[in-house]
Amino acid sequence: MRRHRRLIRTVGLAAVLAFTVVACNPAVDWSEGGEERRFWCDPTDTEVNDGHGGGHVGHHFPYTEEKGPLSWQDCALNAYFIEKGAAYAELFPTKGVAEANGWNWIAPWISGQGTHHVNPAGIPATFDPNTPTMLMFDGNHSSAPLTGMVWAVNQPPGSHPPAGFPGDNDHWHSHQSLCYDGDGFIIGDSITDEECASRGGVNVDTSGIWLVHVWLPEYSGWQATDIFNKTHPDI
């Protein structure tokens, strides 16, 4: 409930209205075993600090508790925001459609994740659960399909991640620095200034840009073991 209260303070009226619309209908059962409860409210992947893992370079906020079942209130709010975000993201079903509508391609296809395309509005300074900041596509070609979303906030370097989504399952990550080429495309992650320069780029401190991956509720027949899972097995 601590995170839920912080969310209400962060997004204000939007969260209050969402809770009223989604969670306060007495005919809807969001409790464990309820018909409306989404699978991601009970993740089977409960790993701590899983924003990036394996060979990916990233900084994880020091979360100390494993993920777990969400309360019925947090489950309802997550369903509202994630499904609203997915409906918006699905207006851009392919990489080509997204780019034609102003989404800026900033990172190439990465195994387990896909590409990263930034919303034309850029990365906000505060968390807005209603609209994803980035979209991910399964390939570098224009017909590559949408796989998932990213929420991101741009805060001062070294800051803590936002409270984020209701509950404690969204484990955010940042990248200490990213190497950008002259077109704003990422060509290196946490490499030295010398290595970045040798690739024709410039290192930028991105330690205050916090991100969390949110998968589409279903892609390629796979239901995420955790909607905030670090990778997708079919990408």
pTM: 0.84
- Domain annotation covers residue 232: no
Are the CB atoms for 174 and 96 separated by under 8 Å? no
pLDDT digits (tens, 9 = 90+) for 193-204: 999 999 999 999
Within-domain flag for 81: yes
Q: What's the pLDDT score for residue 4?
A: 43
Residue 123 lies inside a defined structural domain of this protein: yes
- Picking from 36, 9, 1, 12, the residue whose alpha carbon sits closest to that of residue 22 is 36
Q: Given pLDDT bands bounded at 50, 70 and 90, which one contains residue 191?
A: very high
**What CA–CA distance (Å, rounded) separates 40 from 70?**
9
**Cβ atoms of 1 and 58 closer than 8 Å:** no
As for how many domains the chain has, the answer is 1
- 222 domain-assigned: no
Q: Is residue 7 part of a domain?
A: yes
Look at residue 138 and tell me if it is in a domain: yes
Helices (H), the chain: 2-11, 13-18, 72-89, 95-100, 193-198
Structural domain contains residue 160 = yes
Q: Which domain holds residue 74?
A: 2-215
Structure confidence by residue, pLDDT tens digits, 75-106:
999 999 999 999 999 999 999 999 999 999 99
For residue 53, pLDDT beyond 90: no
Res 63: pLDDT: 81
Task: Assess whether pLDDT exceeds 90 at residue 50.
Answer: no
* Mean pLDDT computed over every residue of the chain: 84
